[in-house]
A and B are shown apart, each in its own frame.
Chain A
Amino acid sequence: MKLDSKIPSGPLANKWSKHKQESMLVNPANKRKFRVIVVGTGLAGSSAAASLSELGYNVDAFCFQDSPRRAHSIAAQGGINAAKNYQNDGDSVHRLFYDTIKGGDFRAREANVHRLAEVSTSIIDQCTAQGVPFARDYGGLLSNRSFGGAQVSRTFYARGQTGQQLLIGAYQALSRQIYSGNVNMHARHEMLELVVVDGHARGIVTRNLVDGRIEAFAADAVVLATGGYGNVFYLSTNAKGCNVTANIRAFRKGAAFANPCYTQIHPTCIPVSGDYQSKLTLMSESLRNDGRVWVPKKKEDLSKNPASIAEADRDYYLERKYPSYGNLCPRDIASRAAKQVCDEGRGIGPAGRGVYLDFADAISRFGKKVIAERYGNLFDMYATITGEDPYEVPMRIYPAVHYSMGGLWVDYNLMSNLPGLHVIGEANFSDHGANRLGASALMQGLADGYFVLPYTIGHYLATAKQPKVSTEHPEFKKALADAEARLKKLLSLKGKRTPDSFHRELGLLMWNKCGMARNARGLKELLQEIPALRERFWRELVIRGDAASMNVDLEKAGRVADFMEFSELLVRDALDRDESCGGHFREEHQTEEGEAKRNDAEFLHVSAWEYQGEGQAPLRHKEPLNYEEIKLQTRSYK
């Protein structure tokens, strides 16, 4: 396998404009001769599908929810970064670029990240023109807040519903194109196979989740915008349907999977409350603008009413350990710090797995009204779930799985090593290195969909020169048969256990041995335990109902089966990366203060895994990371 990142030559700041200049174009009259499949309608997919259709391409768009507007992007709360420097606080494209590279612990590509920072400003213009109701100051101009890992205020937001508003903007643009007839929208369709013809990605196979029909779709290029794989841990802040199916199916057809071990654990989530727990709820990072994180210094204070604990007996451990960033240090660092104090036996709440996020100071400084205006919906959400009032008692929070930095490998054009297969948004690996900064996923999704892919896919279509194919092609027939055989196999199992019960079991294994902290021994155990669990899954599962109608357990079973396979890849990568970096913390590699210790001499590369066939260990390739602009250094937020 050849991994060519296709990073343009020349000075960093000119690469993107030069690349656009040099890319081939498809002339307007010819665009309608091309058809593009876009799987996923989150920020990345909706923005791409709408923009491609506006340009004149024919688009088939897919999502598994009942409407494109319900993609998981809808749940993003806190905000979206952009280097507008509206606050005149010293922000710039270069600073956003630098913060993102540093936040990612120097494991992302410079050229991609610089481009992301460059186009960030256009995103805010575009969304505003669509009618996204960003928060404004009294003068009527856009307002900003701060997010972790930055010392400037560059985060744009729409109350605590930024993802919702951005997605509705993209969904409306997509709706307009659906109305125009250029986009065929296929909701409640799940992609089950990628179809590759003569080495090029040419189509997909889907299951209609309403009537069970298996169908094939052919096109000139395929775009995966299928989101992240956090649900491999079962409990996460992701929506229930988030899955790795599309990505793992593409992996099996030859697309490289990059850095699967880079998963983000978010520091501020509502702790687990019982065995029945089905998901974890995020409390936005924006809360760390005003909330202070602490635990009692003394164990005997753990069960006391927090308000009665004297200031001197509280450990504001983030402010203590990281004075210059304080409560706004990056997520990986804040999460590990929370784990540390809980491991020391100073965690609060059930099972000692929690820390306080306290707004008492902010409320006394600004008043309850201002705090309610800033975070009202988050406070309400917290109260609804826990039955406690965060205006009166501090929130209890604990880290939870949140985001996947890893994903399918893509080059500078956002194309995978499989020609024609483009991957955008959280589904690719490209911009966040080993740790993503808050408010940068929304930025990346929309950058990819509105401003990068529409250019780069044009170049591919103009140069690929592939003959038209139809779903009559033998590769389509084969992919259809494969998808059907898999469903049949799942339905033939005569065990006793539900897909959910296996998913929970897998998640717990992963969280315990491949979660916030990992070590070689645990990872090696997982490489025994996962195949054993997978084997039980394929023996003990039972699915009621049939394939020819809506069957929720069949849907889940397919996803869990793919997680069973993917988890092993993730663990392999975690074992292979024998260093700590960003969200990937190997206990063997830490400084005396317990900070992640990178090993640039051996691991300054992207690990890209190639499928080798059923039952075979995948092959690891390396894409070296060349830092031309930035000097590598130890990340410090002290």
Chain B
Amino acid sequence: MIEVKNVFKDFSGNKVLDNICAEFEPGKTNLTIGQSGSGKTVLLKCIAGLHQVSSGDILYDGRSFVRMNEKQRKEIRKEMGMVFQGGALFDSNTVEENVMFPLEMFTDMTYEERRERANFCLKRVNIVNANNKYPSEISGGMQKRVAIARAIALNPKYLYCDEPNSGLDPVTSILIDNLIKEITQEYNITTIVNTHDMNSVMEIGDKIIFIYKGQKRWQGTSAEIFDTGVKELDDFVFASARMKQLRDLNRR
């Protein structure tokens, strides 16, 4: 369980996160939604400890991540997996080496064991016959999936995905979404997914947090999202005029 408590974050005076509070439970896919530039990535990076919060606290199972020393933090880091917005695969390593990387750094597995585990993870995300390719040689959707494979290689307790399906076609997006949801339930992972894709919201959102200009404006489930009374969220959900029409027809 991850608790975000009154987190503020600014970059040299430019306020990006404004008093965010949230809780993320294991076994659930938690979604953070919001427009581009609303602060989703920054929030996720604060949770993962890649940005220092300006004030506030982040608790991992009740223990303050902000006040931990580097060694304790490292222990928790080993239980995190993250899929970055651009995939962030290591260019100079092959697909297989990318997935084996965390295993090599943090386990005492033999080469054969590592390869086996890497191949298992790659199969899990439906990547076959690409083991010896370099990231630049595979498509964007494949890169995202390899990134997921790398993130789950160490059986993480926490999985963070920053827009795992941005730039992908709707079919592949849904595949990736469902994959994330399955993994989350299968291994009881605390998963946080950033997205601005309404398809994902409807498909996998167990719990949804809406961020608007760095502030949390709403939280709830995908069933509740159509009738929240929050204007900014309405504008986000029913962004197109056609959607608004459909909504108004429905209400009448």
A binds B: no
Contact surface of A with B, Cβ cutoff 8 Å: none
